[in-house]
A and B are shown apart, each in its own frame.
Chain A
Amino acid sequence: MQHESEIREPLILGKKSYHEITEDIVRPIEGKASKYWYMLLTISIIAFLWGIGCLAYTIGTGIGVWGSNNGVDWAWDITNFVWWIGIGHAGTLISAVLLLFRQKWRMAINRAAEAMTIFAVMCAAIFVLLHTGRPWLDYWLFPLPNQFGSLWVNFNSPLMWDVFAVSTYFSVSLVFWYTGLVPDFAMIRDRAVKPMAKKIYGLLSFGWGGSARHWHRFEEVSLVLAGLSTPLVFSVHSIVSTDFATSVVPGWHTTIFPPYFVAGAVFSGFAMVLTLLIIVRKIYNLENYITIKHIEYMNIVIIVTGSIVGVAYLTELFISWYSGVEYEQYAFLNRATGPYWWAYAAMMTCNVVSPQLFWFKKLRTNLTFTFVMSIIVNIGMWFERFVIIVPTLCRTFLPSTWNMYSPSFVDIGIYTGTIGMFFTFFLLFTRYFPVIAQAELKSIVKSSGQEHKEKHAAHGHAAHH
């Protein structure tokens, strides 16, 4: 049996038995949905439908309905793409990296975080597929034999690397998530009374029985997938950053982008996980599993990654001055004082100043503060991507090409639509899928459950006296 130090706070509160864990996790699925769930779902679906309408308008009429123009040819589309992909990275980090580091606190949050990843990557994919202009030709992105002499894609291009990276990331995350879900679906199947539920969860659970051999392979598969997903998550966002870094435009052409983007992705992703889970733990009464300690751990990750992002900003500023390159210097002067100075100010306040507040234990264990901060961080990270893209593009090398940019209602509509899509899928997930990896969680009851920690503490004291 794994021994854990008594001074570590328990990860499962409330002296839960295995059966109680089963009941707590399955209750939102077996019970009736609350009216708040229906309300939120309705709002999300309306936003989603509005987004679909704007998508159809874009495909039918053309990219001209967006605010993008000759100079600023990437704007809200790519900002949103990078924002969503960045958010997705926290899920994989929680499932994969925390597994490799044997951090047991991941078990209460990895299922929901991975679901968030999958839905976030789906939202990101919409922008990629749509921004090509002629989305019906998107299959040209793949190296398929064709009648143009077999004209192949350009494998030297980061945009091509993106195709492979994002596809791999999405499919591997999906498979990792699903493989972990199978034992939990089996739990629901074995309890199901209604014939429809029994049938569906029976199909979804692939006949899982919990045999020792199968658990053994399950653990090995989880470990290998974690080992594969970790470099995957770092590589995917590094590749996304090279979309900018391999260009020649000042403000983009910098080697700091890969680590800066990856840290920023983890930063915004954890913020989104916090936003979602603070609500989920309250509504579904999971406070004994997603404890204040879990929230605190996630906030600590936010300080770390937020500080890395802050250091990256300062490095960029310093190097732009120190290099003596007038174009680089102007690029940053323009960000801070040019037409989009307000976006830069928002970015700096939200991303550099706010996470530093989590150094105070009182603040990082405070739920309301964490919730508000998580939303501020995500707004700040959106502005970061916007500040990288638009101010640079609106002030490139040749002043006669300088252009301003403002989003059209379609840009805003599609973004709103993806937020609606994300929440629609996430709400459906919380209703029909087990939100916490209950099988995994049961395996740490003896080592990290409150009852057992208190018992060990009592024994420890007794032994010493």
Chain B
Amino acid sequence: MSKAVIHAIFDDEEPLMATAKSMHSKGIHIKDVFTPFPVHGLDAAIGVPRTRIAITAFIYGLTGASLATLMMWYMMISDWPTDVGGKPSFAYYMNVPAFIPITFESTVLCAAHGMVITYYLRCWMLPGVKAKNPDPRTTDDKFLMVIETKEENKANIESMLKSGGATEIHHK
């Protein structure tokens, strides 16, 4: 079965949203939508699942907290405990208040950087990577919907797009 790829360009996000919703409700799979800014409600309209990146940030944060705790326990309690102004160095729990700032900073450091690196890799955003939007006008003021469908459904979908307010339709 031959596949057809349709690119539909809209001038505004309102017809885009309406068309996306109606097509999604009819079971048509929208491959992607390229917009100049995040359009609220678009993810639900085209069926983009909720991202789990915040969960990864939480895990990295726990890692950061553990690393800092381990580091300070090893250095200040286990390896070379010193008497600094009488502060207790016999067990970790005795000196926890002094260790909190660094534990917190390490949590934030690992959570933030871990999450952002994961985000860049997941979206495959790296210096030198080719631009992902098929039409350069989508970073200005145009909205592009990409639909992959079987050859026979093409005409039907195109009429839906035209009635929804698409200003240009291209076949790729």
Contact = CB atoms under 8 A, between A and B. Distances in A.
B40 A2 contact: yes
A228 B108 contact: yes
Interface in B45-66: 46, 48, 51, 53-54, 57
Contact of A205 (B109, B123, B131, B140): B131
A224 B53 CA distance: 9
Nearest to B87: A156
Contacts of A191: 136, 139-140
A155 interface: yes
B98 interface: yes
Interface stretch (B75-83, B149-157, B161-169): B75-83
Nearest to B140: A22
Nearest to B71: A143
A152 B126 contact: no
Q: Interface residues of A: mostly helix, strand, loop or mixed? A: helix
B120 A190 contact: no
Contacts of A442: 36-37, 141
Interface residues of A, number: 70
Interface stretch (A80-88, A160-168, A287-295, A322-330): A160-168
B133 A211 contact: yes
A204 B40 CA distance: 26
Nearest to B124: A207
Contacts of A440: 37
A190 B131 contact: yes
A207 B36 contact: no
Given A150-B79, A190-B137, A204-B127, A217 B32 contact: no
Contacts, number: 212
Interface in B99-147: 99, 101-102, 104-106, 108-109, 111-113, 115-116, 119-120, 122-134, 136-141
Given A213-B32, A224-B53, A207 B105 contact: no
A60 B13 CA distance: 61
A228 B95 contact: no
A172 B53 contact: no
A2 B105 CA distance: 36
A55 interface: no
Contacts of A165: 101, 105
A257 B42 CA distance: 46
A397 interface: no
Contacts of A242: 101
A215 interface: yes
B38 interface: yes
Contacts of A255: none
A221 B52 CA distance: 10
A210 B36 contact: yes
Nearest to B129: A207
A276 interface: no
Shortest 3 CB-CB distances between A and B: which pairs? A209-B132, A207-B129, A18-B141
9 contacts: A22-B140, A175-B116, A186-B131, A190-B136, A191-B140, A203-B127, A207-B124, A212-B48, A217-B51
Given A171-B113, A216-B43, A239-B101, 4 more contacts: A150-B79, A210-B37, A228-B57, A228-B108
Interface of A: 1-2, 17-19, 22, 143, 149-158, 160-161, 164-165, 167-168, 171-172, 175-176, 179, 182-183, 186-187, 189-191, 202-221, 223-225, 228-229, 231-232, 235, 239, 242, 439-440, 442-443, 446
